[in-house]
């Protein structure tokens, strides 16, 4: 079954085609970064508009990449949530309109299930059960994955996500948007021990996260100071250390609590080098292993949506929206619906 995947939950417009046997046949991602950067964050209305402009040309492009015509698509999967509502509606409407026109089933996919299955797009992926650390701009979550569709949230962010913490503190350091990668780069030149910021909720048991206090602590520390480049680098390093140490400690706790030894990392913050290094060292020391998907499958993409949707569509999930009419229709093809007696509607008059 060849599945067209559509992702439009936030500021990436993405389209992919996945087939069970050969795997990924096409995979295009358009980042809307340039559109949002002047505003210092994602502007929902601009995101929706750019999805509208980009989706159809990208779908045509993916069909060309895969060497397929539209009639070769057997099903469509789109991100149904969670995300920006206007942005989601664009992808959902395009997916359902195409499903209607092409007379193929359409299924709505949970964006985070996409992230959880993404490692399976490559060979050598860990099999469930495992613990997943989801760290994107919008989510920080530890999830026990015991199988496909069997997810238990072990802990999650009560306020800002880790990515948001990077982005908001980067803004305080005047690093532009998105701040995560810029802050990480600057932190590389920072000196250890010049600043120290709180590790939120580490002193308490449990697996939830809270990063808004860190942002406040950074704001208070920086207020009224005019730091030079070295000073800002020192602060960036301390911020990165606080976020990474919090994530590593809670991930270890999650492995310990579940008795599992495998951790997968998903989401954009998974690109952070300090997180990767510290997490790998800490989990290995505890006798476990960490799996990182390739960067393009770690950040938002449609391959993961097509992949999760494929499993659901093959199992019979999904709706066919086509309006069916037939110019020729032999009467003796008909059978009675289950549970309808031979008397059928005639018994009504008796």
Cβ closest to Zn ion, residue 169 vs residue 299: 299
Least Å distance, CB 144 to ligand KG4, is 20
**What is the number of other CB atoms lying within 10 angstroms of the CB of residue 205?**
7
> Does 136 help bind Zn ion (rule: CB under 5 A)?
yes
Please tell me whether residue 131 adopts helix, strand or coil conformation: strand
Cβ closest to ligand KG4, residue 145 vs residue 165: 165
CA distance 258 to 285: 17
> Does 300 help bind Zn ion (rule: CB under 5 A)?
yes
**CA torsion angle for 186, 188, 193, 194 (degrees, to 10)?**
-30
**What is the number of other CB atoms lying within 10 angstroms of the CB of residue 126?**
18
**Partner whose binding site includes residue 299, from Zn ion, ligand KG4, none (CB under 5 to 8 Å by kind):** ligand KG4
Least Å distance, CB 268 to Zn ion, is 7
Least Å distance, CB 12 to Zn ion, is 8
CA distance 100 to 82: 24
* Contacting residues toward ligand KG4, per CB under 6 A: 10, 136-138, 163, 166-167, 178-181, 184, 267-269, 271-272, 299-300
Q: Which stretch binds Zn ion (CB under 5 A): 34-42, 82-90, 129-137, 313-321?
A: 129-137
Length of the chain: 350
**Partner whose binding site includes residue 271, from ligand KG4, Zn ion, none (CB under 5 to 8 Å by kind):** ligand KG4
Least Å distance, CB 45 to ligand KG4, is 17
Helix (H) or strand (E) holding 251: helix 229-258
Using CB under 5 A as the binding criterion, the count of chain residues that bind Zn ion stands at 2
CA distance 33 to 18: 26
DSSP string, 200-249: TTSSSSSS-B--HHHHHHHHHHHTT----HHHHHHHHHHHHHHHHHHHHH
**Partner whose binding site includes residue 187, from Zn ion, ligand KG4, none (CB under 5 to 8 Å by kind):** none
Q: Are strands 12-19 and 23-31 parallel, antiparallel or unpaired?
A: antiparallel
Least Å distance, CB 63 to ligand KG4, is 26
**Partner whose binding site includes residue 181, from Zn ion, ligand KG4, none (CB under 5 to 8 Å by kind):** ligand KG4
Cβ closest to ligand KG4, residue 272 vs residue 311: 272
Least Å distance, CB 107 to ligand KG4, is 22
CA distance 42 to 56: 22
Give me the residues that bind Zn ion (CB under 5 A), please. 136, 300
């Amino acid at each position: 079954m060849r599945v067209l995947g559509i992702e439009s939950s936030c500021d990436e417009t993405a389209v992919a085609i996945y087939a069970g046997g050969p795997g990924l046949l096409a995979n295009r991602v358009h980042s809307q970064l340039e559109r949002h950067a002047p505003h210092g964050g994602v502007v929902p209305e601009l995101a929706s508009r750019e999805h509208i402009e980009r989706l159809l040309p990208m779908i045509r492009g993916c069909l060309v990449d895969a060497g397929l015509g539209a009639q070769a698509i057997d099903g469509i999967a789109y991100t149904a949530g969670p995300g920006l509502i206007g942005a989601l509606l664009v992808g959902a409407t395009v997916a359902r309109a195409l499903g209607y026109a092409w007379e193929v089933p359409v299924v709505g996919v949970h964006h985070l299930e996409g992230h959880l299955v993404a490692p399976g797009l490559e060979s050598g992926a860990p099999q469930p059960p495992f613990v997943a650390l989801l760290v994107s701009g919008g989510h920080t979550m530890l999830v026990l994955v015991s199988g496909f569709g069997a997810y238990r949230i072990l802990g999650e962010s009560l306020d800002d996500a880790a990515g948001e913490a990077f982005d908001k503190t980067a803004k305080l350091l005047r690093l532009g948007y998105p701040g995560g990668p810029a802050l990480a780069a600057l932190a590389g030149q920072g000196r250890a021990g010049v600043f120290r910021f709180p590790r939120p909720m580490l002193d308490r048991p449990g697996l939830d996260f809270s990063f808004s206090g860190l942002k406040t602590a950074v704001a208070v520390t920086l207020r009224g100071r005019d730091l030079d480049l070295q000073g800002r680098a020192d602060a960036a390093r301390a911020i990165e250390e606080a976020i990474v140490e919090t994530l590593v400690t809670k991930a270890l706790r999650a492995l310990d609590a579940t008795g599992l030894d495998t951790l997968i990392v998903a989401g954009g913050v998974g690109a952070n080098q300090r997180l990767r290094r510290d997490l790998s060292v800490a989990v290995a020391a505890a006798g476990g292993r960490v799996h990182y998907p390739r960067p393009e499958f770690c950040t938002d993409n449609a391959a993961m949506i097509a992949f999760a949707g494929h499993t659901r569509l093959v199992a019979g999930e999904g709706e066919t929206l086509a309006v069916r009419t037939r110019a020729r229709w032999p009467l003796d093809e008909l059978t009675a619906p289950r549970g309808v007696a031979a008397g059928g509607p005639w018994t009504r008059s008796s």
